[in-house]
Copies of this chain bind each other. A is one copy, B any other.
Amino acid sequence: MRNGLRNKGLRRYDSPMKHRPTVKDVAKAVGVHASTVSRALNPEKRGRLSDDLVARVLAAAETLGYRTNALAASLRTRRSMAVGVIIPDITNPVFPPILMGIEDALRAQGYISVVANTGNDSERARIAVEQLTARRLDGLILATALRRDPLVDLCLARGMPAVFVNRRDETRRIPSVVSDDEAGVQLAIEHLVALGHRRIAHIAGPSITSTGFARRRGFEFAMAEVDGAPRPPLVVEARTYGRDSGHQAFLELLALNPKVTAIVTSNDLLALGCCDAMREARLSCPADISITGYNDMPLLDIVTPPLTTVRIQHHEMGAEAARMLIDIIENRERRAAMDIVLKPDLVVRGSTAAPRATPAKLQLAEP
């Protein structure tokens, strides 16, 4: 990918693309030097110019329809006022709200975002970082972090400011904004325990992701405190964060221990996958097994059953990450070395209830 940007030679220089007026054209129109125009156009350097001149330049720029060429400006200033956002899968409903938060915060400071979607492919993620670096963005927000993520080294090697959002790298060399996953899982468990559950299992997200790992650890820690809980704790790891992985993990879990009365999942889609599997197995949620999700993605209130889940502050998380990155970019080191951890909430809906007095007759064969 050293040369992703070659002119394919298909458009000639004499292309019909309109000639865009440059700072020189404006200068000519006003009868001053280009540098003067540049200064007049920049509010921060305008001070030393006469008000009259500034007004004339502005007027001329307006009538000519002048727009500054961001490419040229960035090349010269080494600042693009743009940051890249790397997302594993934009179709996962967790990310759009985070993205909105990022955009809102960036816009407030005059930055724009460039979003790259990697489809959970680490090679594509690497390429995305390379491309965004090649375009000289001012920084990167990574929502893709694995627990040990090579992107960290890449960013560090390229001297590219970066922050993690939602996930983070275990080496902690890059600041992050995350939700407190251990606390979130604990909320779910406390809720289930209060309902009377003891045989609570966990369907974990991929352990290479920081969220999957942290939530699992939170589960194991919290369950260690629960009297009468299975030892060791019951955990099945899903292959991905997708609905069908949840389906599959549910079947594995039931094969492992058919007596579970509640499942804490690492993500809403996994939870929905469990519901799919239960429906197929003619089990009822929450009558037979209670299920909790994680993230509180949209529409969870009208699926069947409405899913009890842990809500995280997506928008705020994105906004905080963006603000942090800008601080780093602009050398306000105030926040450069900090991690921000937001608190999650539990949203109780219909997928959790007290366990049956006698465990349901499960139709799945025991191994």
What is the interface of chain A, defined by CB distance below 8 A to chain B? Answer: 2-11, 13, 15-18, 20, 41-44, 61, 65-75, 77-82, 90-91, 93, 96-97, 99-100, 103, 110, 112-117, 119, 130-131, 133-136, 157-159, 272, 275-276, 298-299, 302-304, 329-332
Contact = CB atoms under 8 A, between A and B. Distances in A.
Q: How many protomers of this protein does the assembly include?
A: 2
Contacts of A302: 272, 275-276, 303-304
A134 B303 contact: no
Nearest to A315: B91
B42 A330 contact: no
A contact patch SS:
loop
B2 A41 contact: yes
Contacts of A7: 77, 79
A329 B44 CA distance: 37
Given A2-B61, A91-B97, A100-B117, A71 B67 contact: no
22 contacts: A2-B67, A4-B81, A5-B74, A5-B77, A5-B79, A6-B81, A10-B331, A11-B330, A17-B78, A65-B157, A67-B130, A70-B135, A72-B75, A91-B96, A93-B93, A93-B298, A96-B96, A99-B117, A114-B115, A272-B299, A299-B299, A302-B304
Contacts of A72: 75
A91 B315 CA distance: 11
Given A70-B131, A304-B304, 12 more contacts: A8-B44, A8-B330, A15-B331, A67-B133, A67-B134, A69-B75, A70-B135, A70-B136, A71-B71, A71-B75, A90-B96, A96-B96
A330 B75 contact: no
A158 to B, nearest CB: 7
Nearest to A119: B100
A96 to B, nearest CB: 4
A330 B103 CA distance: 31
B330 A17 contact: no
Given A130-B67, A272-B302, A78 B110 contact: no
A10 B330 contact: yes
